[in-house]
Structure formats: C-alpha cells, structure tokens
Amino acid sequence: MKDLRKYIAEFIGTFVLVFVACGVAGLICDVTNVASVLMTALAFGGVIVAMAYSIGNISGCHINPAVSVAVLINGGMSVKDFICYVIAQFAGATAGAALLKGILPEGAGIGANDLIGMAANQPNLIGSLLIEAILTCIFVLAVLGATSKKENSNVAGLVIGGSLTLVHLLGIYFTGTSVNPARSFGPALFAGGTAFSNYWVFLVGPMVGGVIAALLWKFVLNGKEKAEAK
C-alpha cells in the first residue's frame, strides 16, 4: 500500500503540472511578450512548489523521469520504484493533457514543445538537444542539492520551484522548455504534428541532462562534500 501511495502521488503531481502549467502556457504564452513568458515560467515553478509541499513527503515529488533517473543513479530508489514512477508520471501527464484538450478553446495550444527554429521552418535538432540537456542538468542539480540534507527540507520546495522557473525563463524562447520527458509527452500526444514527431528530442535531451547531473553530483559535488567532512 505504501508503494501504491507513492505511485499515485507521482501520477497526481504530474497531472497537476501538465493540467495547470501547460494550460497556462497554452492559453497565454507568447515568446515575444515578457509578461507572458514570466507568467508561464512562474506557473511551472509554482506548481512544483505546491506539489513539493503536498506530495513530497509521500513520493519525494519527482514528477519528472529526469529527476527519477538521477535519484536512481545516486542510490535513492530501487529499479522497481524507478519504473513505476516513470509509468505513473507518463500516465499523469497524458491524463492532464487529455483534460486540457477537452476543455481549452478551439485553437488554443496545450503547452507542447517544439524545436528551435521550427516556427521559421529551420529546425535545429542539435541546438534543441543541447539546450534541453543543459537546462535539465541545471535543474536536476538544484533538486539533488536542495534535497541532500534533511535540514533543507523546509525550503527545498521553494528552491526547486525557483530553479524550474529560472530555466523556463531562458528555455521558453528556444523550445518552450521541457526538462521533463513526461511533461512533454502528454501535450505532444494530443497536439500531434511536429510536436509529436519531434518528441524524441524532449525525451533524449532531458534524460541525458538528468544522467549528467546525477554523475556530477555523485562523483564530483557530493564526493567533494564528503571528503571535506572527514
């Protein structure tokens, strides 16, 4: 039952992330409008803060396969939990996007990501992969650092939500900012077109970024901290 609660929490958290934050992005995001970009970034960061203090004590509030793979690499969860978390995350994102598709007005987006330059018919695969990997690495490092000590627990949600807001402020202009393969999958599935055909970029980029962050934390940053503590 305890394991099931964790998986349900991950489903709910990812559902809320997609339904609320991608809903905001679909309704108001315009990369040429500073206020619109700021509101969208705050929506994603705000959801993470809310979910961190709602389900964090149940599942850790990963709601992102890139975070889960980093936790797995650093020994914070079992392979079984990792697989079940990812399934729950993708299911929650799909449910959130399905509901958005049903209630948003005709012609509104649902927060799907796409490649750099796609609007000008000049897609940049390498650039899109790089920006997603780098931003995800930054975000996941913030997650690992904020959750590395119990004394940080009171502020960890704020740090993680703030970090997600920051990476969105840059990434929205380029790819819409994924840094989360589950978050991208649901909207891409229902948006179709290039958003779906290019989805693999928003799977590979964030997962590579999550793995790099995990390795940096495990072998460089956390190792240094342990060495200094001796």
Q: From CA 115, how far away is CA 199, in angstroms rounded?
A: 9
| Length of the chain as a residue count | 230
Name the β-bridge partners of 116: 124
pTM to 2 decimals? 0.94
Q: How many domains does the chain have?
A: 1
Q: From CA 25, how far away is CA 184, in angstroms rounded?
A: 12
Contact call for residues 18 and 187 (beta carbons, < 8 A): yes
pLDDT of residue 105: 85
Q: From CA 110, how far away is CA 9, in angstroms rounded?
A: 23
pLDDT of residue 108: 78
pLDDT of residue 120: 74
Parts of the chain with a pLDDT under 50? 224-230
| CATH code for position 93 | 1.20.1080.10
Cβ neighbours, 10 Å, residue 181: 26
Q: From CA 222, how far away is CA 190, in angstroms rounded?
A: 40
Cβ neighbours, 10 Å, residue 154: 9
Domain extent at residue 195: 2-229
